Amino acid sequence: MKSLKLVSLFLAGALTFTLAGCNGAETSSQDPSTGSSQEASKTSLLLDGSTSVGPLAELLAENYTGGLEIKVQQTGSGTGIQSTLDGSCDIGMASRDLTAEEEAEGLVPTSIAIDGIAIIVNAENPVTGLTSEQITKIFSGEITNWSEVGGNDAEIIVVSREAGSGTRGAFEELLSLEQDGISLVDEAAEVFCASNGEVKQNIVSKPNAIGYLSLGLVDDTVRALDVDSVQATSENILAGTYPVARPFLFVTKGEPAGEVKEFIDYVLSAEGQELVASENYIRVDQ
Amino acid sequence: MNSRTLQRISAETAKWIFRAASIFSVLALLLITVFLIAYGAPAIFEIGPKEFLLGTQWQPNAKIFGILPMILASIYITLGAALIGFPLGLLTAVFLAEVAPPRLANLVRPLIKLLAGIPSVVCGFFGLMVLVPRIMDIQGAGNSMLAAMIILGIMILPTVVSISETALRAVPSSYKEASYALGESRISTIFRVTIPAAKSGILTSFALGAGRAIGEATAVALVAGNKVQIPSSIFDSVRTLTTNCVFEMGYASGLHQRALFATAVILFILIILINIALSVLGNKEEKHE
């Protein structure tokens, strides 16, 4: 009978959902406050945060040969830090230093690489370098035309990131673009993007745009400007002559322990750091 | 137990399953609404209604939460999307219901439904790669209110077209025949008889389309520029209420997070107002008839 079939189908569905709900114990989060390892061993780790650290984390996850499954989510440094705090991820990825408040909440940063921030322009833009003063003036709206810095007579289109971006936070700190908690770029920028990838897209499609990007993500489609006549390369960052650089952090609530420590140890090992260097980031073990 | 009793038992069980399903749906809506208002409304008073609703600066780190630029952006963009999507959608529905030969209609209809299946992020990306550079050639950075209006106008087409077409088809043929009998032409009948008769369904499609437009976050975030400013032209970069929530909800905490929920409450109120306005419009016309 039709309605009987309906009832049995509904009951079967309800049963399935209940059973599926009971299976949620697999991905329990690590006990953060004591830093001790869980009773039940974990089989997977969730990394969440910076879109700058994300690609490197994905590469490390791919090459990791331990028993854990590593999942990487790229939602921005701010979000990753928040997720680590409330326990919804195992390791937060941040592309800027932690603030005093964040460290006071019990977050522990582990530096896994150093990355430069490239100031990028469209590949067709004749300008090849700027002084840090010029960059600060462009991103705060004091300089508005490319002709003022030796380029074409065209309005500069400033591209920035969302407020929670680690890249943005590091960039604004290094170039004095923040005043009393208010970003000076908010007024000057015309376009705000939610990830490094989106910034790159906007620069590629606008001849007069300028933006900032994780150095590891720069390729032939955009041009990285020289800053104070220093080229944006990892060698120059190591030498200390290219000033716009920030650490890539794996953030944990409390000291890393258990499976989390296993993965972080791998990342800090010679093998992990080889991968870091292979992607043009700077290793932290030398 | 005989087959009649069994039949009655299954009928009753079925009725209870349907009741349970509708209770669950209404409960889900109530829970979301109550949670939203409980979490967000107090923030409006904590920040101060005037500072919140009429403030023009959004600087969470300095505890400044003003959403006027975003309210205006959401309203303008929805209006623009409506101006593009409603006429286009209604006329397409008329084409499908009244004018097109059945074979052509059966070809066009699934194509429009396919448009509904395209994910918002793909529409937004299309806007960023194809539409934004063209707008940049005219004025500004390209990422603008205009880009958002056009993309949203296209995205609400399937909703408007399919519901309007259903409404138009539901008009009894006796109305149309009476009109022809009185000497009216086909086109005249469509505009003076069929469309007014289908008014309530058409207005429903408009309400749903407008709701989709004002609530869209992903596509708008990719093409609107997202600058917090009161726009002075359609070529200006703007940030909508939805984009603001999407950008910052992931990492916000404390008052900042509650302010974002308050933003969502305002959005909710706007959607309710749109629905009320459109339904009042529908009822007013019916009274005259």
CA closest to A82 among chain B residues? B251
Nearest to B86 by CA among B225, B208, B178, B185: B208
User: Is residue B108 one of the residues assigned to a domain?
Assistant: yes
User: Is residue B142 one of the residues assigned to a domain?
Assistant: yes
State how far residue B254 is from chain A, nearest Cα, in angstroms. Answer: 12
Per-residue pLDDT, B164: 96
Best mutation target, B245, B251, B256, B257, to test chain A (most A CBs within 10 A): B251
Instruction: Find how far residue B230's CA is from the centre of its chain.
Output: 22
Let me know: does A191 contact A203? Beta carbons within 8 Å: no
User: Is residue B275 one of the residues assigned to a domain?
Assistant: no
Nearest to A112 by CA among A68, A157, A192, A57: A57
Let me know: does A237 contact A81? Beta carbons within 8 Å: no
Per-residue pLDDT, A24: 43
Per-residue pLDDT, A15: 56
CA closest to A157 among chain B residues? B141
Count of pairs with CB atoms under 8 A, one residue in A, one in B: 94
Q: Model confidence over B29-59: pLDDT tens digits?
A: 999 999 999 999 999 999 999 999 999 999 8
Per-residue pLDDT, A240: 87
Chain B partners of A206 at a C-beta cutoff of 8 Å? 133, 136, 141-142
Q: Model confidence over A223-239: pLDDT tens digits?
A: 999 999 999 988 899 88
State how far residue A78 is from chain B, nearest Cα, in angstroms. Answer: 5
- CATH code, domain carrying B92: 1.10.3720.10
Nearest to A222 by CA among A193, A199, A192, A190: A199
Per-residue pLDDT, B62: 84
Q: In this prediction, what percent of chain B has a pLDDT beyond 70?
A: 98
Residue B143 to residue A191, Cβ atoms within 8 A: yes
Best mutation target, B143, B228, B235, B244, to test chain A (most A CBs within 10 A): B143
Q: Model confidence over B116-160: pLDDT tens digits?
A: 999 999 999 999 999 999 999 999 899 999 999 999 999 999 999
Residue B17 to residue A201, Cβ atoms within 8 A: no
Residue A190 to residue B225, Cβ atoms within 8 A: yes
Per-residue pLDDT, A33: 41
User: Is residue B245 one of the residues assigned to a domain?
Assistant: yes
Name every residue in A having a CB less than 8 A away from some CB of B.
1, 3-4, 6-7, 10, 75-83, 157, 162-164, 180-183, 186, 189-194, 198, 201-202, 205-206, 209
Let me know: does A245 contact A115? Beta carbons within 8 Å: yes
Average pLDDT over residues B206-211: 94
Number of domains chain B is built from: 1
Which residue in this structure is represented by tokens 């030969």?
A: B101
B169 touches chain A (CB under 8 A): no
Which residue in this structure is represented by tokens 């959902």?
A: A17
B139 touches chain A (CB under 8 A): no
| Beta-bridge partner residues of A249 | A94, A111
Residues constituting chain A: 286
Q: Model confidence over B87-120: pLDDT tens digits?
A: 999 999 999 999 999 999 999 999 999 999 999 9
User: Is residue B188 one of the residues assigned to a domain?
Assistant: yes
Segment-wise mean pLDDT, segments of 10 residues, chain A, 286 residues: 60 55 43 44 90 93 91 92 94 92 93 94 95 95 95 95 90 89 89 94 94 93 94 89 92 93 93 91 86
Q: How confident is the model at residue B191 (pLDDT cuts 50, 70, 90)?
A: very high
Let me know: does B236 contact B139? Beta carbons within 8 Å: no
Per-residue pLDDT, A37: 43
Facing residue for B250 by CB, picked from A10, A76, A191: A76
Residues 6+ away with beta carbon under 8 Å from B199 = B282, B285, B286
Both tokens of A80, joined, read: 């990753």
Residue A163 to residue B141, Cβ atoms within 8 A: no
Residue A78 to residue B228, Cβ atoms within 8 A: no
Residue B61 to residue A181, Cβ atoms within 8 A: yes
Facing residue for A7 by CB, picked from B10, B237, B247: B10
The answer to pTM > 0.90 is no
Decide the pairing of beta strands A209-214 and A107-122.
antiparallel
Per-residue pLDDT, B185: 92
CA closest to A79 among chain B residues? B251
Per-residue pLDDT, B225: 94
Residue B217 structural domain: 68-255
Q: Read off the DSSP letter of residue B232.
A: S
Let me know: does A213 contact A79? Beta carbons within 8 Å: no
Chain A partners of B135 at a C-beta cutoff of 8 Å? none
B11 touches chain A (CB under 8 A): yes
User: Is residue B113 one of the residues assigned to a domain?
Assistant: yes
CA closest to B4 among chain A residues? A1
Q: Model confidence over A36-57: pLDDT tens digits?
A: 444 457 889 999 999 999 999 9
Let me know: does A254 contact A32? Beta carbons within 8 Å: yes
Cα B23 from Cα B25, distance rounded (Å): 5
User: Is residue B42 one of the residues assigned to a domain?
Assistant: no
Per-residue pLDDT, A35: 40
Q: In this prediction, what percent of chain B has a pLDDT beyond 90?
A: 87
Per-residue pLDDT, A180: 78
Q: How confident is the model at residue B288 (pLDDT cuts 50, 70, 90)?
A: low
Residue B14 to residue A7, Cβ atoms within 8 A: yes
Q: How confident is the model at residue B244 (pLDDT cuts 50, 70, 90)?
A: very high
User: Is residue B161 one of the residues assigned to a domain?
Assistant: yes
Q: Does position B73 have pLDDT exceeding 60, yes or no? A: yes
Best mutation target, B237, B247, B255, B256, to test chain A (most A CBs within 10 A): B247
Residue B222 to residue A162, Cβ atoms within 8 A: no
Per-residue pLDDT, B252: 85
Residue B60 to residue A3, Cβ atoms within 8 A: no
Average pLDDT over residues B213-223: 95
Residue B247 to residue A206, Cβ atoms within 8 A: no
Both tokens of A95, joined, read: 């592309």
State how far residue B99 is from chain A, nearest Cα, in angstroms. Answer: 41
- A89 by Cβ neighbours in 10 Å (0-12 / 13-18 / 19+) ranks as buried
State how far residue A1 is from chain B, nearest Cα, in angstroms. Answer: 8
Residue A7 to residue B140, Cβ atoms within 8 A: no
